[in-house]
């Protein structure tokens, strides 16, 4: 009996030498935003959380500033095709591929962060269904500060908007500028600074962090916080890559995602305030919009929302109806 036990133990030892230990998984994660941008920082924190929870078994390397070479509008395809397992993406930036996602781009639909939270909570099950169709899973959704207008000349009335050459980042933003008599130009973030300096554009629709990233104060003078839209990012993971992970690592990704979503929403107001203060310190003047200007803009963009709704998918119409019911509009 002792001899048999010795033989068995020897066999186990030899087998352990021949069998490789479970390898640590190392993944790349993609962010198009600069390293100091709040969303890139958030992705870094997310990666650290996952590494800590998994005791280093899942190590996510964040590549920010578009270092992997992928552009915003292609990111649904990039994650679907497994070119990178995890990516942060602007929801409006990939909305040309899925009309339902355009709900977050409707001008003057959402008027503050509380309303945005309501919209995202209603939309989340539908967004999950859309991203599943694209072979991926949402880990967390996080907001940007509201999209305002950054200009060379001061804007106080609807008439002041006429003739502007404005960088926009989605179709509905372009329609807003067309409606007020401005000329919209769809440009990726990487081309904004050079286009401003070359005079191709004289104004930009974007949020305060982007203004800081691009150092708008080198060219522009005024900021009108119109809250045309309030954009959101989502971080997604390739579903096949997720499914191959051990259950403990899957749980770690989900847990870290929930924690990041909570903290990113909690910090967005301070983030916006800090970024605007940075712009002011560097010479940009904030011009608070009058109630009349906001009312005029809401009125002139009503057709944009109505026209989109007519051709929207059924699920998008459900989201819209539930949202307007909840906010009593």
**Each residue of 156-209: pLDDT tens digit?**
999 999 999 999 977 888 999 999 999 999 887 779 999 999 999 999 999 999
**Each residue of 214-255: pLDDT tens digit?**
899 999 999 999 999 999 999 999 999 999 999 999 999 999
- End-to-end CA, the chain: 82
Does 19 have pLDDT greater than 50? no
Q: Per the domain annotation, does 329 fall within a domain?
A: no
Q: Per the domain annotation, does 269 fall within a domain?
A: yes
Compare 143 and 210 and report the one with higher pLDDT: 143
Distances (CA, A) of 313 to 94, 122, 309, 318: 16, 15, 8, 9
Report the pLDDT value the prediction gives residue 138, as an integer from 0 to 100.
98
For the record, the structure tokens of 143 come out as 């907001």
The domain in which residue 68 lies consists of 2-322
Does 1 have pLDDT greater than 90? no
Report the pLDDT value the prediction gives residue 13, as an integer from 0 to 100.
34
The model's confidence at residue 21, banded by pLDDT at 50, 70 and 90, is very low
Q: Per the domain annotation, does 225 fall within a domain?
A: yes
The count of structural domains within the chain is: 1
Report the pLDDT value the prediction gives residue 103, as an integer from 0 to 100.
95
**Each residue of 243-301: pLDDT tens digit?**
999 999 999 999 999 999 999 999 999 999 999 999 999 999 999 999 999 999 999 99
Q: Per the domain annotation, does 328 fall within a domain?
A: no
The model's confidence at residue 63, banded by pLDDT at 50, 70 and 90, is very high
Report the pLDDT value the prediction gives residue 188, as an integer from 0 to 100.
79
Q: Per the domain annotation, does 82 fall within a domain?
A: yes
| Percent of the chain scoring above 90 in pLDDT | 85
Does 18 have pLDDT greater than 90? no
Place of tokens 């958030």: 42
Report the pLDDT value the prediction gives residue 14, as an integer from 0 to 100.
39
Q: Per the domain annotation, does 185 fall within a domain?
A: yes
Report the pLDDT value the prediction gives residue 23, as an integer from 0 to 100.
56
Q: Per the domain annotation, does 100 fall within a domain?
A: yes
Q: Per the domain annotation, does 84 fall within a domain?
A: yes
Q: From the CB of residue 102, how many other CB atoms can be counted at a distance below 10 Å?
A: 19
CB-based burial, 262-274: b 16+ in 10 Å, e otherwise: eebbeebeebbee
User: What would the DSSP string read from start to end of 164-231?
Assistant: -EEEESSHHHHHHHHHTT-EEEE--GGGHHHHHHHTS-SEEEE-HHHHHHTTGGGT--EEE---S-EE
Q: Which of 8, 4, 24, 5 has its CA nearest to residue 16? A: 8
Supply the CATH number for residue 138's domain: 3.40.190.170
For the record, the structure tokens of 177 come out as 């500028």
Does 329 have pLDDT greater than 60? yes
**Each residue of 141-163: pLDDT tens digit?**
999 999 999 999 999 999 999 99
Q: From the CB of residue 8, how many other CB atoms can be counted at a distance below 10 Å?
A: 10
- The whole-angstrom separation of Cα 325 and Cα 256 is 32
Neighbouring C-alpha atoms within 13 Å toward the C-beta of 212: 21
């Amino acid at each position: 009996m002792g001899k048999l036990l010795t033989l068995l133990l020897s066999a186990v030892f030899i087998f352990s030498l021949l069998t490789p230990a479970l390898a640590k998984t190392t993944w790349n994660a993609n962010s198009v935003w600069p390293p100091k941008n709040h969303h890139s920082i958030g992705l870094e924190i997310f990666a650290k959380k996952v590494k800590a929870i998994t005791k280093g078994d899942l190590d996510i390397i964040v590549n920010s500033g578009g270092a992997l070479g992928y552009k915003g509008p292609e990111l649904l395809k990039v994650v679907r095709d497994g070119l990178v397992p995890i990516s942060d993406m602007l929801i409006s930036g990939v909305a040309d591929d899925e009309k339902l996602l355009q709900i977050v781009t409707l001008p003057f639909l959402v008027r503050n962060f509380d309303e945005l939270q309501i919209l995202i909570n209603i939309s989340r099950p539908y967004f999950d269904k859309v991203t599943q169709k694209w072979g991926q899973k949402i880990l967390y959704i996080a907001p940007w500060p509201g999209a305002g207008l950054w200009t060379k000349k001061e804007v106080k009335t609807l008439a002041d908007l006429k003739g502007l050459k404005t960088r926009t980042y989605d179709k509905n933003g372009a329609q807003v500028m067309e409606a007020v008599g401005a000329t919209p130009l769809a440009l990726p973030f990487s081309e904004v600074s050079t286009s401003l300096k070359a005079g191709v554009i004289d104004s930009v629709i974007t949020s305060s962090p982007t203004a800081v990233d691009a150092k708008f104060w080198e060219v522009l003078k005024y900021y009108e916080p119109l809250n045309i839209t309030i954009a959101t990012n989502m971080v997604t993971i390739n579903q096949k890559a997720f499914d191959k992970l051990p259950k403990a690592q899957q749980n770690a990704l989900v847990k870290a995602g929930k924690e990041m979503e909570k903290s990113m929403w909690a910090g967005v107001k301070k983030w916006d305030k800090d970024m605007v203060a940075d712009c002011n310190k560097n010479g940009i003047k904030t011009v608070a919009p009058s109630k009349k200007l906001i009312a005029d803009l809401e009125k002139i963009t009503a057709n944009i929302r109505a026209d989109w709704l007519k051709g929207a998918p059924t699920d998008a119409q459900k989201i819209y109806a539930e949202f307007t019911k909840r906010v009593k509009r």
